[in-house]
Structure 1
């Protein structure tokens, strides 16, 4: 992928709003937030005057420069409801399909008429059924002689696109009328290459199994309700291309056809590495028909995990299952030791960390802010450790439980705590706690097994090893098919910068 034009700027009328986690500190003289590293952005009086509450509208070169900086640091996001329409929003839908005429018919009906649609038949056995559905909806059919997989099928369709934008939509998706039009508004930012909606569960008769209800509450593709700049290590570190809109001029040849899984993660990370922005816009959604039969579901989760090693080969700095700062590593070791001195030492580590952050912040109320950041980092460290114990490293955990009482205690806490927290914070769960817990643990087992399988095949443990990084680093990888809350473990690493306007 080639990078964006370095001279391009945000157009007049472009609006950004501060992220919900961004704090206005020091009596309005600074902003504290961002991802994957937390930044302290100091504002000049002229820059402060550009804001209206928590929003900023581009009116001139100065406001465009500040808005661009806020987007770069993920301190703010585009306010999509107030973005101007793109002057040329022509878009072609590319739909890869393999032997699913029923879901394809449902998807094409949700897209509706008057759209350019290319259905790519990836060597289906029921070619006639796929062709009949495409013809009934007026879609162009591109039949492949050999099965190329999702990446190859999308690329085949991409080569036929003649519009500025392309919407990649899997056949098991159902689109709302406003999903793609809303995503297209993001491209008024000339540096946006890809925009994706929230992927929610499609409620059908078959989705009412206990696995289906778990997946509707905690689907691997559902990245949450918080807008994000998708980038390695952020709270949204990857985005699915089950439904995505892309700028054709930005994505080059598209997907890596040698990858049958995790090609969407690689696609987004390459765009970010080239200097483009990838936006996650949860105000609109695409409903996905999750696998609801246990066998299909378990195998799919395992397949997700097998993408870890291929990603490690292509993005070695972005696939570690955990990134730890020295202080959070020391905190983890102290707590896992489960000695009498563990809690006092952990408290001392947090205290020293809070003092160091307060000194670095140097703003009014820095002590309280530093305490909150440290507490958040400590909670994130515990969540990250629990995820390693139950997900990525579960084979090691099982072995350790056979010989160590301390490992058994740590595993028991980790195996219960995350489900308790999710049940407390997610009121949409339609599954009783015992079956939700079981499905959660089976999800972890399947994904972790896939990671280990890919590591064995590749003869490399790169995708299993955590990385130790000092405060202030710009990226914190999260290599999981879940929106990993543990990425907050390092957010007390504050980078200070200033803005002159």
Structure 2
């Protein structure tokens, strides 16, 4: 976990805490499983009662140090999400910063949609026709990172809303964002970015699978989790945190927003995704322009992998799941099924004594194996497709495997028409081509390598459930005296 394991800033009094929809409770509410990555938490009796008051009774967080520390840890694990009814920040504490190049109409539309803000800075990043609304202008395009840096360095308010010129916020989009900054640990909050509706095939596809739309579930943002990044097209950031890191990395033409979020997380700050807040984004107008966008997104993988070793990979699965699916792909279905069945059966043994029923342990193991198959299929289709295509041209078994890899796309496109299915494949192929191009340029294979999690869980040793600091069993205490009876454990990336 983060520095909150020691002391950390307390969660503000009056915060309402809502459970993530992944949370499951066992052993009378003393054992929690959920979050992303998946965590197992064992609470004391009093801690369980406090948790119940929050999620069942709708009780707000009290001014109690023990409860606030418990809330902090559960928030960090992604088991709870905050709802702050009030906050000290208002619209007067926020400045809009917009980088723009050759999009005068978008700027006019954005200014109309944000007229409630008194402080707005438009940075013209080398437009052919200079924009009269711009407070700053680069004579030559320097990229979005440099434009954003030039803008925020003029800001005097504590909060900065970076919003691109092809984005239109909904009315009241800041209502769900500003209160979250009452928590001093929160350095950035991102709204949900949805694609503007339309009738063209590409517009319909983008409404379903926009690369900027991260879904309807709130989450803490961190690498290797359900929401591992947030785009800079719409992002509210605390100025002090931005200054601490020196702003965006201007060496990155793409992925500069992901890099910033990961550096914030590495520095101990909290970044949150708040889908209750919605902004609308213009999709690319033409197919080639759209494919180029996806390609460019892919090129950033190599640079991000080099700057953040171990935090970016094409697939992360357990060794036993990878072995099971590898055996199936090599034409050994009986051995593959036996391997998956044995490792699934051993999972309850690894969790013995931790309050998880055998049925739940079996469910987690089964879901883990199926999820690994989906991850490996996506990696093959999205990142490994060049060698997979070569193999399919020269081997019948490889062709069968490739066809199986495409099956999830075809199922997903059921009822949406052939154009949707084609765009789904082009999406993956364009991104993957960008990944390979970036790897060649950076001379690295980091984004092409999978990561395998520890397989000791399948042997029943439980070493994939490392103990950390205890979760408080008394409402007024940080932790119980007996660390052996209460554990804060990670269930691994199955």
TM-score (norm. length: structure 2) = 0.88
Show the counterpart of 1:483.
none
2:112 is aligned to: 109
How many residues are paired up? 457
Listed as ranges, the matches of 1:142-291 within 5 Å are 142-203=136-197, 207-252=198-243, 253-291=246-284
Deviation of the 1:93 alpha carbon: 0.3
Matches of 1:367 and 1:496 in 2, distance apart?
Answer: 21
Counterpart residue number, 1:26: 27
User: 2:11 touches 2:68 (CA, 8 Å); kept in 1?
Assistant: yes
CA distance in structure 2 between the partners assigned to 1:458 and 1:303 by the alignment:
14
Task: Give yes or no for the alignment of 1:85 onto 2:87.
Answer: yes
For residue 331 of structure 1, report the CA deviation from its aligned partner.
1.8
Q: CA RMSD, aligned part only?
A: 2.2
State the partner residue of 1:318: 311
Given that residues 327 and 336 in structure 2 are in contact (C-alpha distance below 8 angstroms), is that contact kept between their aligned partners in structure 1? yes
Change (3 A) 1:56 1:33: farther
User: In 2 relative to 1, CA 340–375 (structure 1 residues): closer, same or farther, beyond 3 Å?
Assistant: closer
Q: For residues 287 and 353 of structure 1, what CA distance do their matches in structure 2 show?
A: 47
1:75-131 C-alpha deviation (Å, 9 max, x unpaired): 11113xx4322356610000000010011111111112442100001111110xx21
Q: Contact 2:16–2:82 at 8 Å: present in 1 too?
A: yes
1:195: how far off? 0.3
Aligned to 2:70: 66
Partner of 1:125: 128
Q: Which residue of 2 aligns with 1:440?
A: 424
Structure 1 runs of 4+ aligned residues shifted over 3 Å read 3-7, 355-358, 492-498
CA distance in 1, matches of 2:324, 2:169: 45
Alignment partners' CA distance in 1, 2:81 and 2:350: 26
Which aligned pairs between 1:468-483 and structure 2 lie closer than 5 A?
468-470=452-454
Q: Which residue of 1 aligns with 2:399?
A: 408
Judge conservation of contact 1:320–1:463 (CA < 8 Å) in 2. Answer: yes
**Are the structure 2 counterparts of residues 251 and 472 from structure 1 closer, same or farther at C-alpha, using a change threshold of 3 Å?**
farther
Inter-partner Cα distance in structure 2 for 1:224 and 1:468: 27
- Residues 167 and 180 in structure 1, CA contact (< 8 A), matched pair in contact too: no
- Matched residue SS, 2:332: coil
The alpha-carbon distance between structure 1 residues 472 and 67, as it changes in their structure 2 partners (threshold 3 A), is farther
List gaps (5 residues or longer) in structure 1.
Answer: 135-139, 425-430, 474-491
Are the equivalent residues in 2 in contact too, given 1:83–1:186 (CA < 8 A)?
no
| Per-residue CA distance 1:423-478 (angstroms, 9 max, x = gap) | 57xxxxxx8331111101001110000000011111111111111221699xxxxx
Task: Give, in angstroms, the shift of residue 496 of structure 1.
Answer: 5.5
Aligned to 1:296: 289
> Is 1:462 equivalent to 2:446 in the alignment?
yes
Equivalent position of 1:13 in the other structure: 14
Q: State yes or no: 1:388 paired with 2:402.
A: no
* 1:335 Cα deviation after fit: 1.9
